[in-house]
Chain A
């Protein structure tokens, strides 16, 4: 027996050696190195690193740009996550009902944006949101309030426009997760409820939603994590503008680390702060949903 275990150990570590290399070099080292960088002032000119302790973290706390970015990011998350989740749940329930005629067509159509490159999507929407783009032209044509400069160029609409795109983009993916959850609910529960005279609405409230709660928690957590990390959309569509109205935390990390010559340490500290914010959000969310029933 001892011999078998020895052979197993030898093979296990041989097979796992790629993971161990990856873990140490491409995960543990960067995580620790980022932490170290966050305690330093690194200047790319001259390649100098100066240890400054907690100074970066102290600067973050009094940096108005950080608070603006955090505010925007949280606003973005609180706006897009519930709406996308609601639509996703609604569409999943509709799609899963016996009355839906072409379920695989609906599934494919709704999931399509999720497999498309985010760059391609931001490109299309930059065009749609422009001053003489389709959305604005349509609003103008039917006489509704429209944008003077284009939706992405006005402080009042820029963040909302990115949010709307994100809801459009991610609803299908979350719907797919809800569908998987719905299909794991045993049919006989519904059948016995029908025997007792439950209508469609009662079945939804009393059976479907409570049993879907694990999926709901999962969707909320990944949607929140994704929203708190929003970067590419902002980078390609608005560059954080106008007047920082779409500045997000990751965009701020990016500009500090890669567009300034002396703020990489500050960027690393920001990244750790974001990491903590994300961890807190996910923890609070799973607790909250668990306690409510």
Chain B
């Protein structure tokens, strides 16, 4: 039967054609963003058709770093993301280990709280949380931007699932040899958790770097804004200056793109690890 070969080629062309077209649709907006950031245009000119008549420059980037406060936003975002990542990974590992390995009263209720809170939308508690931040005097401080991000229910769940899937023989042997619980946790369990910690760290970093709602609600002064919040205020201005705005957007997007290119395998792995454990 000859047609089968032809059919295969045609199917392959259709399948790959659709996929390539979709990937292009996904990437084009990012390219437009970068193009804007590298050229200078008259104000309120949204669709320049003469992209390649000018030479690209980093003038827009220089401008927003020097005359605007994007440098500060960048440092804030980076610092918060790093601290939240370290805190989240560390505390979630501790809690995940306790849930996975110890037997204690109220274990089921406590673990049910982890599962249940994964379902509660942020928006339900945003008002009381804001009131609490006001009461704590945490508005416009790093506390408000860091503490709510640490120990996300999903992180505890992920660590618990992973640690539970590890064999416990080594821990038991160490216990018989007289090793203390802290030694076992730090020297035996944590090193074995490296794969899941990498995934969780990347996810937490991305989540914190991109997070908008809480940093937006919990800051007033420009010095405390993160990149997404700074950008959101930039859009709110009277006339939008797209060149500079897109340079700001690129500064927010480029670290993520780099991280994604470097770790895309890990990122995808983490997604399925979270999704498929029932």
Q: Which residues of A contact B (CB under 8 A)?
A: 5, 7-9, 11-13, 15-16, 18-20, 22-23, 26-27, 29-31, 33-34, 37, 91, 94-95, 97, 99-102, 104-113, 115-121, 123-128, 130-134, 136-137, 168, 172-173, 176-177, 179-181, 184, 200, 215, 218, 225, 229, 231-232, 235-236, 250, 253, 257-258, 264, 267-268, 271-272, 274-275, 278, 282
Contacts and interface: CB of A to CB of B under 8 A. Distances in A.
Contacts of A184: 276
B148 A253 contact: no
Contacts of B177: none
Given A16-B95, A27-B117, A101 B16 contact: yes
Contacts of A95: 19
A272 B124 contact: yes
B94 interface: yes
Interface in B215-256: 217, 227-228, 231-232, 235, 242, 245-246, 249, 252-253, 256
A277 B134 CA distance: 29
Interface residues of B, number: 88
Interface stretch (B27-35, B55-63, B64-72, B191-199): B27-35
Given A26-B129, A30-B125, A94 B102 contact: no
Contact of A128 (B12, B29, B265): B29
B38 interface: no
Interface in B94-144: 94-95, 97-99, 102-105, 107, 110, 113-114, 117, 119-132
Contact of A117 (B20, B122, B253): B253
A274 B19 contact: no
Contacts, number: 250
21 contacts: A15-B185, A19-B95, A23-B117, A29-B128, A30-B129, A94-B18, A111-B268, A113-B26, A117-B212, A119-B231, A120-B252, A120-B253, A123-B245, A123-B246, A124-B33, A128-B32, A130-B47, A176-B272, A177-B272, A215-B275, A264-B127
B181 to A, nearest CB: 5
B168 interface: no
Interface of B: 8, 11-12, 15-16, 18-20, 22-23, 25-27, 29-30, 32-33, 36, 45-47, 49, 91, 94-95, 97-99, 102-105, 107, 110, 113-114, 117, 119-132, 147-148, 150-151, 156, 181, 185, 206, 209-210, 212-213, 217, 227-228, 231-232, 235, 242, 245-246, 249, 252-253, 256-257, 259-261, 264-265, 267-268, 271-272, 275-276
A97 B19 CA distance: 12
Given A19-B114, A131-B46, 13 more contacts: A11-B98, A26-B129, A108-B260, A110-B22, A112-B30, A115-B210, A117-B209, A118-B210, A118-B228, A127-B46, A180-B275, A180-B276, A181-B276
Contacts of A34: 124-125, 127-128
